[in-house]
Structure 1
Amino acid sequence: MFKSKKIAGLLVVFALFAGSAAIAQNTAMQQPQTVDVEVSDAELSKFAKAYQGLRMMNQQVNQKMMKTVQDGGLEVQRFNEIHQASQDPNKEIEATEEELAKHKAILAKIESMQGEFQKKMENTVKDQGLTLERFEKLSLALQTDQELQTRLQKMMQQGQG
């Protein structure tokens, strides 16, 4: 099976926010759902540290991916246009054979980096003492739980996370 959907998800995730969505690729594409979860301050602090680590990593990954695209001979915006069109059978885009070949080569390089990025993200979460499943559950809870969002924001502002 061609991995471009995963890569498209990665590109979207990296363009918007890496965090939990990259770790939980399948659930990141679903609509937010209410998750009832008890979270201690200590666990929320672990989550905050992992989240901040993922944000910093996201910036590095974005730069690396943008450099890969540019080194491949396309501007990032053009690469994204071609890539989005390649994912949508109803969308047409005029691209030269050369642009399509460059897009394919760049995509192959990005795909080859995907495993490394994923492993680093997983390690960032695990290094804080959280399982990937728990991090994912907390991420989902934060999408809908205003009180939990407020606690996390306060914690991050106070430098506890």
Structure 2
Amino acid sequence: MKKLFALVFAIALSSTSVFAQEQKISDKKFDMFVEVFQTIQQENNKAQMEMAGIIEGEGLTTERFNEIYQAEQNPQQDSDASAEEKKQHAAAMTKLEAKNKELQGMMEAKIKEKGLTMEDYQQIYQKVQTDPEMQQKLMARLQGQ
């Protein structure tokens, strides 16, 4: 399930390029990021459950879905998926891609609603991912709210 979430979140964030600029992030902008980050995490949790339901609705477990997905992504790995499983996987992927577009739109709307641009959000998100000090700052803000 976490792999599915990582896949979905990575897809959502990768649709817009990230400009890795070294820039001081103001406390106000960081606070805006934290608010959006919390909202997006809540929405991602809901979407993750919905996506698991989509996969299961097609007749696969999330574990099996991920196994098939990984085999498809690795040309050196043979897939042991049956024709039926491949069909189920393809149907689930189509629905997941649609759900991902919906999630992307929601993320962009929430980010703009809080007064940030996608570039601002992605820049701060990237900095939080790579800077331990920023990670601590985020954790402190999340725990303080």
Instruction: Identify whether the pair has TM-score above 0.5, normalized to the shorter chain.
Output: yes
Give, in whole Å, the separation in 1 of the partners of 2:123 and 2:4.
18
1:90 aligns with 2:79: no
Corresponding letter in the other structure for 1:146: P
Structure 1 residue aligned with 2:13: 24
Q: TM-score, normalised by structure 2?
A: 0.85
CA distance in structure 2 between the partners assigned to 1:22 and 1:87 by the alignment:
14
Relative to the length of structure 1, the TM-score reads 0.77
In structure 1, distance between residues paired with 2:21 and 2:129: 9
Partner of 1:62: 48
Aligned length: 144
Q: Which residue of 2 aligns with 1:136?
A: 122
Partners of 1:73 and 1:17 in 2: how far apart?
20
* Aligned-residue offset at 1:40: 1.7
| Contact preservation (8 Å) 1:125, 1:132 | yes
State the Cα RMSD in Å.
2.6
Deviation for aligned residue 1:34: 7.1
Distance (whole Å) between structure 2 residues aligned to residue 152 and residue 85 of structure 1? 35
**Does residue 14 of the first structure (1) align with residue 8 of the second (2)?**
no
Per-residue deviation at 1:87? 1.4
The corresponding residue for 1:107 is 93
The 8 Å contact of residues 35 and 140 in structure 1, kept in 2 or not, is answered as no
State how far apart, in whole Å, the 2-side matches of 1:13 and 1:126 are. 26
Greater displacement, 98-107 / 148-157: 148-157
- Displaced runs of 4 or more, over 4 A: none
Note the residue ranges of structure 1 that are not aligned, 5 or more in a row: 1-10
Q: Using the TM superposition, give the Cα deviation of residue 56 of structure 1 relative to its aligned residue in structure 2, in angstroms.
A: 0.4
- The AA in structure 1 aligned to 2:60 is L
Aligned partner (choices 31, 37, 50) of residue 36 of structure 2: 50
**Residue pair 1:69, 1:75 contacting (<8 A) in 2 also:** yes
Residue aligning to 1:81 = 67
- CA–CA distance in structure 2, aligned partners of residues 35 and 101 of structure 1: 43
| 1:27 positional shift | 8.0
User: Equivalent pairs: percent with the same residue?
Assistant: 31
